[in-house]
Amino acid sequence: MNENIKIDKFRLKYLPKIIRIYRSSFPKEERFSFILLLWNLIRKKSKLFVGLKGIEVISFIYVINYKKESFILYLAVTEEERNKGFGSYLLNWYLSNYKNINIYLNIDEVDNKYYDNDIRKKRLDFYLSNGFYLAKYLSIEKNGNYNILSNKDKFDKDNYADLDSKISSWLFDNKSNIERIENYENRN
């Protein structure tokens, strides 16, 4: 599969397909204005890479950078190409090219209290099997609670909070609260 995918930086010609993938992959309440995402690309606050199968955009990763920290805001694959390893390939490419920095991401909170906990657990397992570690903290945001994951097994709450503060200001969003999870093992 590696020979079938090429990673490229964002180019305007990819924009229509990226927007289609973005809209079909994330619920409206979890999407920021794409104009705002583009504005942060122009300001060099973020990066966007695409996965190409031939000349067709099949995946993308959008990351926000600050100091020696990176936050994966979005990772998506077209519906037709999901579960074929393309998401893992793009994620591992990013991790290997930026391994000297702290990389974070958030996923919907994994807890038995949610009706869709099986899907949430699969998402968590995907990231754990691709080099991430689960921090024992939640990001509490206006639209839900999110597990925090990091590419380092030692989670630095202060670095994460600093990055979260910057992301919030760049995306005109509320800063999240970060709370320690007690008794994580009993939650899923």
* pLDDT tens digits, one per residue of 121-169: 999 999 999 999 999 999 998 888 999 999 999 999 999 999 999 998 8
* pLDDT tens digits, one per residue of 80-136: 999 899 999 999 999 999 989 999 999 999 999 999 999 999 999 999 999 999 999
60 band by pLDDT with thresholds 50, 70 and 90:
very high
User: What percent of the chain stands above pLDDT 90?
Assistant: 76
Query: Could you give all domains of the chain from N- to C-terminal order, each with its CATH number?
Result: 2-182 (3.40.630.30)
Beta strand 133-141 with 56-66 is unpaired
- Claim: this prediction has a pTM higher than 0.85: yes
| Helices within the chain (DSSP H only) | 15-25, 34-42, 86-97, 117-129, 157-170
Residue at token pair 């936050």: 71
The residues pairing with 63 across neighbouring beta strands, listed in sequence order, are 47, 72
Residue at token pair 């031939």: 54
The residues pairing with 147 across neighbouring beta strands, listed in sequence order, are 107, 138
In this structure, what are the phi and psi dihedrals at residue 62, rounded to the nearest 5 degrees? -115, 120
CA pair distance 20, 94, nearest whole angstrom? 22
Which residues, in sequence order, are CB contacts of 183 under 8 Å at separation 6+?
Answer: none
